[in-house]
A and B are shown apart, each in its own frame.
Chain A
Amino acid sequence: MIRDSQLLDQLVTTVRRFVRERLIPAEPGVEQENAIPGAIIDEMRDLGLFGLTIPEAYGGLGLTMEEEVMVALELGYTSPAFRSVIGTNNGIGSQGIIADGTDEQKQYWLPRLARGEVIGSFALTEPDVGSDAAAIKTAARRQGKNYILNGTKRFITNAPIADVFTLMARTGGEGASGITAFLVPRNSPGLSLGKIDEKMGQRGTRTCDVILEDCVVPADAIIGGVEGQGFKTAMKVLNRGRLHIAAVCVGAAQRLCDESVSYARERKQFGKAIGEHQLVQAMLAESGTECFAGRCMVIEAARRMDSGARIIQEAASCKLYCSEMVGRVADRAVQIHGGSGYMRDSAVEHFYRDVRLFRLYEGTSQIQQIIIAREMLNA
């Protein structure tokens, strides 16, 4: 749902300009330094990018799903590392609070997250637990007015810069109903960070372990104040995250198409631009078509979500198709660039590595397939 098309057009145009004038020129530096310059993070903050999805009452933009998708399509056009900085505040690092938080939690955290004054991060995965998320082992034991947390969280995006973690821990018995979501400030006693992970791509973003050793948090750190609701909270916000990621994938695919087209126009072999060779045209046509298909499905699914429909299947389909699709498009983009596409100073080279992640996190492709089939069979 688009509430005001003229207004959205201005938002999208502004983000597009920012991406093209500020972020794309900064890509080579981010690759080189494996860090996003602080000045760029400040600009992203000034622009209001941290509060896209946080309700207006708490200082955010309160974008509908369709509006968020339109913005994510633009953000996807540059290195995913930039999007990752604002990803957690707009996604799983704030959505849990919005969905199920108490008034005090909303009043305290949401305006700060919207302004980008604090960075939120989401900690579910553990060394022994990934796809089977309901099996987490991190334990939370009640002690008077506090909870004592013990366990390790793995591959946590933005953990090294986070101020607060939405952290899943077990307060009860086995399975999903024993899981509780806590808001754990970075400076909680007993919380430490592991060394920063060396990743394949998305240089400039940081993940690391979050280690809890008799970490103390007050009882009012439970999102919504009630034990055993954590898994339900996480499930509520998954659809939004999946559509957001799918839109980012489409934005990246569009960039890869544009890079491929401009290279195919410039590069000459056998006396003509390689874009005039039909086998190269076939690759462009496949990529252009798949990119368009992804765009259509993600916008359609977003509209359905805004209308209140159950879209578990559609959201999983979008995440599955768009993340796999951008992998194929990136592969063709490298092929069209020939040897240059294998070299570090080519944008398609880092996109090829960067987009690989989209098939793994927020539910692997196999997990999406399981969800889609389950929805189909249970309908």
Chain B
Amino acid sequence: MKVLVPVKRVVDANVKVRVKGDGSGVELANVKMAMNPFDEIAVEEAIRLKDAGKVEEIIVVSIGPAQAQETLRTALAMGADRAILVKTDETAEPLGVAKVLKGVVDAEKPGLVILGKQAIDDDANQTGQMLAALLGWAQGTFASKVEINGDKAKVTREVDGGLQTIDLKMPAIVTVDLRLNQPRYASLPNIMKAKKKPLDEKSAADFGADLKPRLKVVKTEEPGGRKAGVKVKDVAELVSSLKSAGVI
């Protein structure tokens, strides 16, 4: 079975993000970029499935600018087999990305697509679900455990108030949550070897899709600063002030 893992290049999680002066988005010039942390977990899971003999080939795909190559190389260094870069200078939005991914799925015919549950830049949490809808496949979102048995994938999902376990008929879509695994560091020798693994460059049109923005960003603002708190004497005063604030 082939597994497809889409990976997104995002601002590194350790960078303090700043809003652009004109409010049109966040500052990306000279900012350290990295693979979306949820996507790292997705790549790791695919590698573990391959190590367990459930998967023959791992294909990673990124939709983004030329520099997204670096993100793909990281995935190859971790253990993916080959990579596809769908190059675009447009802002990648969930629906456009899902349409391109549908095209990639039609071409590659994977048995499983594993995605991060969301990307830490826009936190949309939509691409996996949209892709499942476009393909008409079963989906297991927010996975904290994935087991493959024959043509079934058993997915434990992190839902409000607990865990839910579902069986998916494959081919299927899985989106991964934080607790699924601890991604490995690509070893330095594997980073060197990844340079020689195949990386194809394509366009959205090659997959019969377009990435024209469908959303309009109205405004981007910094979150408001923290407001000063109040000190209370004892529990009684805490309860009464919470009551008067109408929160309990």
- A52 & B195 in contact (Cβ 8 Å cutoff): no
Contact B192 A47 (CB under 8 A): no
A61 touches B192 (CB 8 A): yes
Minimum CB distance partner of B34 in chain A: A13
Q: Are A14 and B192 in contact (CB under 8 A)?
A: no
* A18 CB-CB contact with B under 8 Å: yes
Q: A47–B185 contact, CB under 8 A? A: yes
In contact, A10 and B185 (Cβ under 8 angstroms): no
Contact between B191 and A11, CB atoms less than 8 A apart: yes
Cα A48 to Cα B192 in complex, Å, equals: 11
The answer on a CB contact under 8 Å between A48 and B189 is yes
- Hey, what's the 0/1 contact readout for A328-359 against B, CB within 8 Å counting as 1? 00000000000000000000000000000000
Q: Is A6 an interface residue (CB 8 A)?
A: yes
Cβ–Cβ < 8 Å partners of A6 in chain B = 69-70, 73
Q: Report yes or no: A10 in contact with B70, Cβ–Cβ below 8 A.
A: yes
A61 touches B185 (CB 8 A): no
B71 CB to closest chain A CB (Å) equals 10
B192 touches A52 (CB 8 A): no
Q: Is the CB of A10 within 8 A of B187?
A: no
A13 vs B40: C-alpha distance when bound (angstroms): 15
Contact partner, A17, options B69, B77, B185, B187, Cβ 8 Å: B185
**Is A300's beta carbon under 8 Å from chain B?**
no
Give the nearest-CB partner of B70 in chain A: A6
Give the Cβ gap from B200 to chain A, nearest Cβ, in Å: 18
A51 and B189 form a contact (CB under 8 A): yes
CB of B73 to closest CB in A, whole Å: 6
Counting CB contacts under 8 A, is A128 at the interface? no
CA distance A18 to B74 in the complex (A): 14
Known: A10-B70, A10-B73, A10-B77. A61 touches B195 (CB 8 A): no
Find out whether the CB atom of B74 lies under 8 angstroms from the CB atom of A10.
yes
Closest to B74 in A: A10
Residue interface bits A53-73, CB-to-B below 8 A is 1, else 0: 000100101000000000000
Q: How far is the CA of A52 from the CA of B188 in the complex (A)?
A: 8
Q: A1-20: which residues lie under 8 A (CB-CB) from chain B? A: 4, 6-7, 9-11, 13-15, 17-18
Chain B interface helix/strand/loop/mixed? helix
A residues less than 8 Å from B74 (CB atoms): 10
Query: Is A49 on the interface with B (CB-CB < 8 A)?
Result: yes
Cα separation A17 to B189 with both chains bound (whole Å): 16
B195 & A47 in contact (Cβ 8 Å cutoff): no
Task: Tell me whether A18 and B195 are in contact (CB under 8 A).
Answer: no
Instruction: Please give, as numbers and ranges, the residues of chain B lying within 8 Å of A51 by CB-CB distance.
Output: 188-189
Q: Does B133 contact A (CB under 8 A)?
A: no
- B184-199 vs A, Cβ < 8 Å mask (1 yes, 0 no): 0111111110010000
**In the complex, chain B residues 159-198 whose Cβ is within 8 Å of any chain A Cβ:** 185-192, 195
A4: chain B residues at CB < 8 Å are 195
Interface residues as binary, B65-94 with A (CB distance below 8 Å gives 1, 0 otherwise): 000011001100100000000000000000
A18 touches B185 (CB 8 A): yes
Which residues from A are CB-within-8-Å of B189?
48, 51, 59, 61
Report Cα–Cα, A61/B186, bound state, in Å. Answer: 14
Known: A4-B195, A7-B192, A7-B195. A48 touches B70 (CB 8 A): no
Decide if A132 is an interface residue (CB 8 Å cutoff): no
On chain A, the residues within 8 Å of B73 by CB distance are: 6, 10
Which chain A residue shows the least CB distance to B73?
A10
Q: How far is the CB of B191 from chain A (nearest CB, A)?
A: 5
A23-51 CB contacts (< 8 Å) to partner B: 43, 46-49, 51
Q: B195, A48: Cβ atoms under 8 Å? A: no
* Chain A residues positioned under 8 Å from B195 (CB to CB): 4, 7
* A14-B192 Cα distance, complex, nearest whole Å: 12
A-chain residues with CB within 8 Å of residue B69 when the two chains form the complex: 6
Within the complex, which residue of A7, A13, A47, A56 is in contact with B187, where a contact is CB–CB below 8 Å? Answer: A47
Q: Within 8 Å CB of A17, what residues of B? A: 185
Asked whether, in the complex, the Cβ of B70 is within 8 Å of the Cβ of A61, the reply is no
Cβ A14 vs Cβ B191 within 8 A:
yes
Contact A11 B70 (CB under 8 A): no
**In chain B, residues 49-74, which have Cβ atoms closer than 8 Å to a Cβ of chain A?**
69-70, 73-74
* Assembled-state Cα–Cα distance A126/B190 (Å): 40
Smallest beta-carbon distance A170→chain B, Å: 39
Complex Cα gap A48–B188 (Å)? 5
Using a CB-CB cutoff of 8 Å, which residues 5-20 of chain B contact chain A?
none
Q: With A4-B195, A6-B70 in contact, do A11 and B188 touch (Cβ < 8 Å)?
A: yes
Contacts of B77 in A (CB 8 A): 10
Chain B: CB-nearest residue to A56 = B192
Closest residue on chain B to residue A50 by CB atoms: B188
Shortest distance in angstroms between B192's beta carbon and chain A's nearest beta carbon?
6
Question: Inside 8 A of B186's CB, which chain A residues have their CB?
Answer: 10, 14
List 27 contacting pairs A-B, 8 Å CB cutoff, sorted by A.
A4-B195, A6-B69, A6-B70, A7-B195, A10-B70, A10-B73, A10-B186, A10-B191, A11-B188, A11-B191, A11-B192, A13-B34, A14-B185, A14-B188, A18-B185, A43-B185, A46-B185, A46-B187, A47-B185, A47-B187, A48-B187, A48-B189, A48-B190, A52-B188, A56-B192, A59-B189, A61-B188
Q: Which A residues contact B (CB, under 8 angstroms)? A: 4, 6-7, 9-11, 13-15, 17-18, 43, 46-49, 51-52, 56, 59, 61
- Other contacts beyond A6-B69, A11-B192: 8, CB < 8 A: A7-B191, A7-B192, A10-B70, A10-B74, A10-B186, A14-B186, A17-B185, A48-B187
Closest 3 CB pairs of A and B: A48-B188, A48-B189, A48-B187
